[in-house]
Amino acid sequence: MSRMFVPGPVDVADEILQAQAAPMLPHRSKEFEAIYRRASEKSQQLFYTQYRVFLTASSGTGLQEAAIRNFVHKRVLSVVNGAFADRWYEVAVSNGKDVEKLAFEWDTPASPERIADAVREGGFEALTVVHNETSTGLQNPVKEIVEAVHAVSPDTFVFVDAVSSLGGAKIEMDAWGIDMLLTSSQKCLALPPGLALGAVTDRAMEKAKSVENRGWYFDLVRMEKHRLKDSSPATPVMPLIYALDLQLDRIFAEGLDNRFARHSAMAKRVQEWAEAHDLSMYAPEGYRSQTVTTIKNERNINVSELNTFLKQREMRIAGGYGQLKDKTFRIAHMGEIQMEDIEKLLAAMEEFLKK
Ligand code: PLP
C-alpha cells in the first residue's frame, strides 16, 4: 500500500473511499438530514465544543475568509509566523478590513505577551492565529495566546486555523476560549479534500448579525438557519459528509487521546531520527508540530532524487514550502500513518543517504 508522508491531501482508508460511493440522496430529504446531523454532532466532540460545527463545501481557506467576513466589522490583528498565517492576513486585507500584521520570525513561536501588548493598544475586534504552521512544522502556543488576549480584552475574538492539526493534536475549543476553530478534511482527518469544518461560539454568531456584507456563500448567519434544520443553504458535498460520518466513528474507535498520542510518538521518532543523522528541526524544541516535521536540509540532500527513490517504494515526502522551499523538507505523520509506516520510511531514507 502506498504511503504519502505529505501534509495533505493524505492517504484515505479504503472503506472511507468506498463510503463516498454510496448512492446520492436529495439533500433536503429526511434520510440525508439524519446523516448531516449525525456528522455535525459527532464533529463537536472532535472540536471539544458545545457549539455548532459548520460543514462547508470548500477547503479550509474558505473558512479563513468566513471568519473575517462574518465576525469583523473593521479592525483585526493577524499573527504571522508562517506561510498560512500570512495567507489569512491577505484574506483579511483582500476583504477590505483594517488589518494589522504582528509578524514573528518563522522559526519563532508567536509570543502571548507580545500579542497581548498589541491587543491592549490596538482595539482589535479579533485576531487570527495558526495553531500548526504546515510550512515550518511549528506549533504555536494557542492556549496561552487566548489566555493572554482575554486577560487584557475578553471581548476580542480569537480565530484559530487548525487545518493541519485538528484530529492529530488536542485543541480544546471551549476550555481554551477560542471563538472560531477551523480545519480541512484532507489532513489529520484523513478524508479526501473538499470539506471544511468550522466551530463557532454563540457570541460570535450573535455579533455576525450586525456585520454588513457577509457575502452569500459563506454567510454563517444564513448557514445557521439551515443548520438548525440539519441542512445547508447550497448543495452540500454529500460524498464527503458520508465519509466524515464514518471516519468520525473510526476516529472515536481509536480514541482521541490514543490518536493524539500516536501522532506525538511519530513526531518524536522522526525528530530523533533526524538528529541522529546530523539534521535539525526548523522549529525550536517545545514548539514542534506533532503532525508534520520540517527538517533543515543541512546535508544538502537532493529531495527530488530522494522522492524518486521513495516513490519506487510507494512512499513520498514533501519538500519545503514557500520561502523555505530549498532550505527544508517535510515529513508528515498524520491521519492514517502508523509508526510502522514511519519505520519503513526512515529505513528507506537511510538506505538512500548511504548511497
Ligand atoms: N492553513 C494551514 C495551516 C494549511 O496547512 C493549509 C493548507 O495546507 C491551509 C490553511 C489552507 O487550507 P486549504 O488548502 O484546505 O484551503
Helix axes 112-122, 142-152, angle to 10 degrees: 30
**Which residue's alpha carbon is at the smallest distance from atom 5 of ligand 1?**
134
Q: Which of 278, 296, 192 is nearest to 241 (CA)?
A: 192
Is residue 115 within 8 A of residue 103, CB to CB? The reply is no
- pLDDT score at 162: 98
Nearest ligand 1 atom to alpha carbon 130: 3
> What is the Cα–Cα distance from 132 to 235, expressed in whole angstroms?
30
For ligand 1, say whether the CB of 60 is within 6 Å of any of its atoms: yes
Q: Which residue has the cell 464533529?
A: 43
Is residue 51 within 8 A of residue 224, CB to CB? The reply is no
Nearest ligand 1 atom to alpha carbon 133: 3
Q: How far is the CA of 136 from the centre of ligand 1 (A)?
A: 13
Give pLDDT tens digits for 215-241.
999 999 999 999 999 999 999 999 999
Counting residues of the chain whose pLDDT is more than 90, the rounded percentage is 99
- pLDDT score at 324: 94
- Which distant-in-sequence residues (6+ apart) come within 8 Å of 239 by Cβ? 19, 20, 21, 22
For ligand 1, say whether the CB of 130 is within 6 Å of any of its atoms: yes
Which grid cell sits at 135? 510550512
For ligand 1, say whether the CB of 164 is within 6 Å of any of its atoms: yes
> What is the Cα–Cα distance from 299 to 306, expressed in whole angstroms?
13
Mean pLDDT of the chain: 97
Asked if the model's pLDDT at residue 1 lies above 90, the reply is no
Radius of gyration in angstroms for the set of CA atoms belonging to the chain, rounded to a whole number: 20
For ligand 1, say whether the CB of 84 is within 6 Å of any of its atoms: yes
DSSP 213-247: ---STT-HHHHHHHHTTT--SS---HHHHHHHHHH
For ligand 1, say whether the CB of 134 is within 6 Å of any of its atoms: yes
Helix axes 339-354, 303-311, angle to 10 degrees: 120
Q: How far is the CA of 64 from the centre of ligand 1 (A)?
A: 9
Give pLDDT tens digits for 102-122.
999 999 999 999 999 999 998
Give pLDDT tens digits for 131-181.
999 999 999 999 999 999 999 999 999 999 999 999 999 999 999 999 999
Q: How far is the CA of 302 from the centre of ligand 1 (A)?
A: 26
Nearest ligand 1 atom to alpha carbon 186: 15
- pLDDT score at 128: 98
pTM, 2 dp: 0.98
Q: Secondary structure of the chain: what % helix, strand, coil (to 5)?
A: 45, 20, 40
Q: How far is the CA of 239 from the centre of ligand 1 (A)?
A: 21
Q: Which of 34, 64, 309 is nearest to 196 (CA)?
A: 64
Which grid cell sits at 145? 495566546
Q: How confident is the model at residue 57 (pLDDT cuts 50, 70, 90)?
A: very high
Q: How far is the CA of 141 from the centre of ligand 1 (A)?
A: 19
Q: How far is the CA of 355 from the centre of ligand 1 (A)?
A: 35
